[in-house]
Amino acid sequence: MGNVLWPLLGILAGGFVAVQAPVNAELSRNLGMPVAAAGISFFVGAVALGLVTSILLASGSVAPLNWRAPPLWMFIAGGLLGASFVTSTILLAPRVGAASLMAFLVAGQLIAGLMLDRLGILGLAVREVTMGRLAGAGLLLIGALLVRFG
C-alpha cells in the first residue's frame, strides 16, 4: 500500500495545483489585483499550516522546532519563490488555460530539476544529465507546446 500511496498523493497534489490556479485567478478578477489574491492565498495557507504545526507540536508527536538551524536565506527564499509561483499562476491561468499552464509548469519543473540534480545543491545527490533525460525533458516541452498550440 505504501508504494502506491506516495505516487497517489503526488497526483492529488498536482490536481490541487491545477485547481488552485483558476480559483486564485478568479479571486484576483473579483478583487481587481493579482498580488492581493496571491497574498490572501498565502495568508490562508499560512494560518492553516500554523494550526496544523501547533496541533502536532502540542501532541508531542514531533520534535520541537529548531529555529536556529536553517540559515536566514532559507526562510526568505522559499516564501519568495512560492509567492512568485502563485502570482505567476494567477496571471497565466486566464491567459493560457489550466491545461497549458499545468503543462508549462511541469516542463519548467523538470528542466529546473535536471539542473538541480546536475549541480547536486541543497542536499541533492548529483545525477548526470544523460541523453535520455534530455530527450525526456525535450519531449515534455514539446508536449507542453502541443497542449497550448495543438
pLDDT tens sequence across 30-84: 999 999 999 999 999 999 999 999 999 999 999 999 999 999 999 999 999 999 9
Whose grid coordinates read 502536532? 56
Q: How far is 49 from 43, CA to CA, in rounded Å?
A: 10
**pLDDT grade for 3, boundaries at 50, 70 and 90:** confident
pTM of the model: 0.83
126 touches 119 (CB < 8 A): yes
Confidence (pLDDT) at 150: 85
Q: Reply yes or no on whether the pLDDT at 144 is more than 70.
A: yes
Q: Which amino acid is at 73?
A: W
How many helices (H) and strands (E) the chain has is answered by: 5, 0
Q: What average pLDDT score do residues 116-122 get?
A: 94
Q: Does residue 1 register a pLDDT over 70? A: no
Over residues 102-116, the pLDDT tens digits come to 999 999 999 999 999
**pLDDT tops 90 at residue 128:** yes
